[in-house]
């Protein structure tokens, strides 16, 4: 069954000659089991008649923000809520710019702002417009916010030039969308929003950095913001789990339903985790625990008298390894923040730390700062059959839901009573 089956897809059509291909795309999406509603910009209507899409989708086509009759039938907020997925094809340079800057002066841009649905963009434009720094920067902005791009293709363009900027063929757009959705298991149909796949489970999550004191005013730490761990804790609650969150020093708040234990150092985090580890079903170790701490914490502030100074560091306990070594171990999930050879390092860690699963992200790409960002992309690995699933770039909330969906499905495959 296609990943598009039963999905509510809002298809945004913009004003480019490639708009004629969107009619075939609408048909292909419906063939794959999706319900499709079309929003056309005014530019799009210069190329294709709304009637074409109405006939193909069986639904009225939405063209105007300020039309009382249309708003009475299905208002723009209702439309935004209806969508499980927003797909814009073709997306013009103009629409990319307006979405990147948060405009809300026509129906399509307003619906995009008002919707939490993941956004997929299939651009189509002249090759120089596509290559222009302004367009590239708008794409990056949208990508950073979690939008996924499908295409464009290279080839002969309607303007007679050859290069990148052609809309992908409708079947390719449909297939790429389905693949992206398959790996992003979190995107649910509107009536699946309350899946309780972790009902009855106790999930323990660590999040944020740890701080290792040097003296009363200084410490060693890292850039972890805690956003990924907090998103996982919240997503676990929404999937029915009881959640304990052990948080390093971060400036984030968590829902009241989450039992939160605040800690500062790695040793404090270990203590807090060990108190809960024997009594939970899943341990997700998202925290960026400092690998080393000071051998000796000075009681008084160190004075800057010497030209050089040396600090002696000793290794911190590996919290995850200690949990996975317990006889009564929960299902253990680690995180790997790698800067190179991501798969090899992540799989190495999976074995060394005796984990059930590991989620790897690349942290050192200059244009993809994971730390502190609101978006992320993961590669998830598990031992059985060299298991692997990619979670494409999306908001940390979506990525968290996708990861927990994978965890829940693997958890279900573990034989009853097996530990590890
Ligand atoms: O070995 P490395 O530090 O790269 O492993 C990362 C994984 O191990 C993460 O899941 C992290 O939360 C966990 N970890 C830990 N205790 C440490 C260091 C890392 O639990 N001291």
Which among 273, 289, 319, 364 is the best mutation to test ligand 1's pocket, defined by most ligand atoms within 8 Å of the CB? 289
What percentage of the chain has pLDDT greater than the value 70? 92
Of 188, 216, 242, which marks where a domain is finished?
Answer: 188
Q: What is the pLDDT of residues 79-124, one digit of tens each?
A: 999 999 999 999 999 999 999 999 999 999 999 999 999 999 999 9
The H helix count followed by the E strand count for the chain is: 14, 19
Contacts of residue 360, defined as CB under 8 A and 6 or more positions apart, other chains included, come to 335, 336, 337, 338, 342, 343, 345, 346, 378, 379, 380, 381
Ligand 1 center from residue 224 Cα (angstroms): 13
Which residue out of 14, 112, 159, 332 is catalytically annotated? Answer: 159
Strands 313-315, 242-247: pairing is unpaired
Mark whether 214 and 158 lie in a shared domain: no
Tokens of 375: 């978006």
Mark whether 180 and 152 lie in a shared domain: yes
The number of folded domains in the chain is 2
Q: Find the length of the chain.
A: 420
Question: In this structure, is residue 270 part of a structural domain?
Answer: yes
Contacts of residue 157, defined as CB under 8 A and 6 or more positions apart, other chains included, come to 126, 127, 163, 165, 166
> What are the C-alpha distances in Å from 385 to residues 235, 372, 381, 388?
27, 34, 10, 9
**Ligand 1 atom 5, closest CA:** 336
**Ligand 1 atom 3, closest CA:** 291
Mark whether 184 and 200 lie in a shared domain: no
Of 188, 210, 245, which marks where a domain is finished?
Answer: 188
Distance from C-alpha of 130 to C-alpha of 124, rounded to nearest angstrom: 8
Record the pTM.
0.61
Ligand 1 center from residue 318 Cα (angstroms): 6
Q: Which atom of ligand 1 is nearest to the CA of 322?
A: 20
Contacts of residue 83, defined as CB under 8 A and 6 or more positions apart, other chains included, come to 8, 9, 10, 37, 111, 115, 117
Residue with tokens 């048909």, as numbered in its chain:
27
**391: CATH:** 3.40.50.10300
Supply the DSSP symbol for 169: P
Secondary structure (3-state) at 6: coil
Ligand 1 center from residue 210 Cα (angstroms): 11
Question: In this structure, is residue 235 part of a structural domain?
Answer: yes
Q: Is the pLDDT assigned to residue 264 strictly greater than 90?
A: yes
> What are the C-alpha distances in Å from 195 to residues 33, 199, 204, 389?
21, 9, 20, 20
Q: Which range in 156-170, 274-288, 354-368 is most confidently predicted, on average pLDDT? A: 274-288
Ligand 1 binding residues, C-beta < 6 A: 266, 285, 287, 289, 291, 316, 318-320, 334-336, 349
Question: In this structure, is residue 3 part of a structural domain?
Answer: no
Distance from C-alpha of 262 to C-alpha of 251, rounded to nearest angstrom: 11
Of 188, 213, 234, which marks where a domain is finished?
Answer: 188
Question: In this structure, is residue 13 part of a structural domain?
Answer: yes
Lowest mean pLDDT among 187-191, 206-210, 228-232, 362-366: 187-191
Mark whether 206 and 179 lie in a shared domain: no
Q: Could you write out the DSSP letters of every residue in 37-96? A: EEEE-TTGGGTS-HHHHHHHHSSPPB--SS-HHHHHHS-HHHHHHH-SEEEEEEEPHHHH
Question: In this structure, is residue 39 part of a structural domain?
Answer: yes
pLDDT at 155: 77
Mark whether 290 and 154 lie in a shared domain: no
Mark whether 149 and 203 lie in a shared domain: no
Tokens of 133: 């720094």
Q: Is the pLDDT assigned to residue 276 strictly greater than 90?
A: yes
Question: In this structure, is residue 1 part of a structural domain?
Answer: no
**Ligand 1 atom 13, closest CA:** 320
Q: Which atom of ligand 1 is nearest to the CA of 333?
A: 10
Lowest mean pLDDT among 81-85, 185-189, 206-210: 185-189
Mark whether 179 and 266 lie in a shared domain: no
Mark whether 60 and 177 lie in a shared domain: yes
**Ligand 1 atom 17, closest CA:** 318
Q: Which atom of ligand 1 is nearest to the CA of 323?
A: 20
Question: In this structure, is residue 419 part of a structural domain?
Answer: no
Mark whether 216 and 265 lie in a shared domain: yes
pLDDT at 180: 79
Q: Which atom of ligand 1 is nearest to the CA of 316?
A: 21
Mark whether 271 and 132 lie in a shared domain: no
Question: In this structure, is residue 125 part of a structural domain?
Answer: yes
Which among 232, 270, 285, 315 is the best mutation to test ligand 1's pocket, defined by most ligand atoms within 8 Å of the CB? 285
Domain around 16: 8-188
Instruction: Verify whether residue 159 is a known catalytic residue.
Output: yes
Mark whether 164 and 229 lie in a shared domain: no
Q: What is the pLDDT of residues 214-263, one digit of tens each?
A: 999 999 999 999 999 999 999 999 888 999 999 999 999 999 999 999 99
Taking each helix axis from N to C end, the angle separating 19-31 and 170-183, rounded to the nearest 10 degrees, works out to 50
Mark whether 46 and 180 lie in a shared domain: yes
**12: CATH:** 3.40.50.1950
Residue with tokens 């090759």, as numbered in its chain:
127
């Amino acid at each position: 069954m296609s990943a598009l089956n039963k999905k509510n897809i809002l298809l945004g059509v913009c004003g480019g000659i490639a708009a004629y291909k969107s009619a075939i795309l609408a048909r292909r999406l419906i063939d794959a089991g999706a319900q499709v509603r079309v929003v056309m910009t005014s530019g799009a209507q210069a190329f294709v008649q709304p009637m074409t899409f109405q006939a193909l989708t069986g639904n009225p086509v939405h063209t105007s923000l300020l039309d009382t009759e249309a708003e009475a039938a299905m208002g723009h907020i209702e439309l935004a809520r209806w969508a499980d997925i927003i797909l814009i094809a073709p997306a013009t340079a103009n629409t990319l710019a307006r979405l990147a800057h948060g405009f809300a002066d026509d129906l399509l841009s307003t619906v995009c702002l008002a919707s939490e649905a993941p956004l997929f963009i299939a651009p189509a434009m002249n090759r120089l417009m596509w290559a222009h720094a302004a367009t590239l920067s708008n794409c990056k902005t949208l990508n950073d916010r979690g939008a996924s791009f499908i295409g464009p293709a290279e080839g002969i363009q309607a303007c007679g030039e050859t290069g990148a900027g052609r809309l992908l063929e409708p079947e390719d757009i449909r297939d790429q969308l389905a693949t992206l959705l398959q790996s992003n298991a979190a995107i649910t149909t509107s009536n699946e929003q309350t899946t309780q796949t972790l009902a009855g489970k106790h999930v323990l999550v660590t999040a944020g950095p740890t701080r290792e004191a040097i003296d009363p005013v200084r410490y060693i730490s890292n850039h972890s913001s805690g956003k990924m761990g907090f998103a996982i804790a919240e997503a676990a609650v929404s999937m029915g789990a009881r959640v304990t969150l052990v948080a390093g020093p971060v400036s984030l708040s968590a829902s009241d339903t989450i039992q939160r234990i605040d800690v500062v150092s790695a040793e404090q985090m270990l203590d807090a985790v060990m108190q809960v580890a024997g009594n939970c079903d899943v341990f997700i170790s998202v925290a960026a625990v400092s690998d080393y701490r000071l051998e000796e914490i000075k009681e008084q502030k160190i004075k800057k008298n010497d030209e050089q100074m040396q600090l002696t560091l000793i290794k911190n306990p590996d919290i995850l390894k200690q949990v996975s070594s317990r006889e009564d171990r929960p299902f253990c999930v680690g995180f790997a923040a790698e800067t190179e050879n991501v798969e090899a390092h992540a799989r190495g860690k999976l074995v060394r730390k005796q984990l059930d699963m590991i989620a790897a992200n690349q942290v050192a790409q200059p244009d993809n700062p994971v730390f502190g960002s609101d978006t992320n992309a993961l590669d998830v690995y598990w031992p059985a059959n060299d298991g692997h699933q990619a979670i494409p770039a999306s908001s940390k909330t979506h990525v968290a839901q996708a990861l927990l969906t994978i965890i829940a499905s693997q958890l279900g495959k573990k034989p009853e009573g097996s530990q590890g």
